[in-house]
Copies of this chain bind each other. A is one copy, B any other.
Amino acid sequence: ESIPMQTLQCYNDYISLTTCTWMECSEAHQFVNVTLNFNNCCEKNKEMACRFHKGENHADCQNSTMHWVCDIHGYDQRIYNFKFDLTLHAELNVSMFQNVQTLPPQNLSIILMKSGDFLLTWKAADGSQGLGNALEYEVTYKQEWESWEKAASLLLSNTTRCHLSHEDLVPGSSYVARVRARPGQASGFSGQYSEWSTEVSWETTEGGLQPRNLRCLFNGADRLMCSWEVKKEIITSVIFGLFFRATPASVEEECSPVHEKALPHIPYVVQSCEIPVSNPGSQSQYHVSVRANTEEKLIEAYKNSEFL
């Protein structure tokens, strides 16, 4: 109920005059002019003349409150309403199956298979099973510490499961996945993605000390950026180097400098190095390898003599 209608009160003097009072928030009055009208046996939509005075503030008004007092001759039973000086409306034709948004998929769960791979399963939300195979799903997953924006994303049709190979997952890590649904492109239906499902998380098995998650990305022009992850505890003793060959026949070169970034909450650091690339052909294939560097030092012991 609007504030004018909430606050509308009418009374009379038993003789010939009916007086009505009502309120309006000043911030609304700034945009819309409201008028009080009545209908009775004989008159339809008759506007009452009102005069403004100041008064106490209504709790729901942000600024000041305008109080109105309106008089009219006669004191019979009346139906009152308020009218605005402009027509406020919007309309839309909605094709039901072109504007579908289902509830998020449910029962998302993860199973560790004998092979060491993981199987993610879910089902369509209650009520959206009617859409059956018309739904497609976006599955995203990431390491716990990564942002969803950089999560891997898979688009799947005609299935409510997703196989995640252990080769695509980093060992000894916490992962989290979620899924959402929308009408598939091929289904003839369309609409928006559902909200994301609840998340499911799991741990991959410990992978030992080997440098892990080695990957390289080419910037399209002149640099190949490689990164890998190393167990935090060993980096004080073991210095890793990145070595590369542009062709199998090339001499192996070492990349420099290697940068290092610690990640919060996980026992690994990310190391990276940029390999300069010149004139890559479309078939160019680099071989890269990460190894513990052998550091050597020449010490001429007789120069460091001391009497023990």
Contacts and interface: CB of A to CB of B under 8 A. Distances in A.
Interface string A40-77: 00000000000000000000111000000000000111
Interface in A1-54: 1-5, 8-14, 18-20, 24-25, 27-32, 34
A297 B12 contact: no
A227 to B, nearest CB: 11
Nearest to A3: B236
A192 B56 CA distance: 63
A121 interface: no
A236 B88 contact: no
Nearest to A293: B2
Contacts of A295: 1-2, 5, 81-82
Contact of A191 (B8, B62, B218): B218
B78 A299 contact: yes
A291 B88 contact: yes
A131 B221 CA distance: 8
A97 B304 contact: no
A75 to B, nearest CB: 5
Contact of A289 (B80, B83, B90, B219): B90
B224 A94 contact: yes
A292 B89 contact: yes
Contacts of A300: 77
Interface stretch (A110-118, A158-166, A197-205, A209-217): A209-217
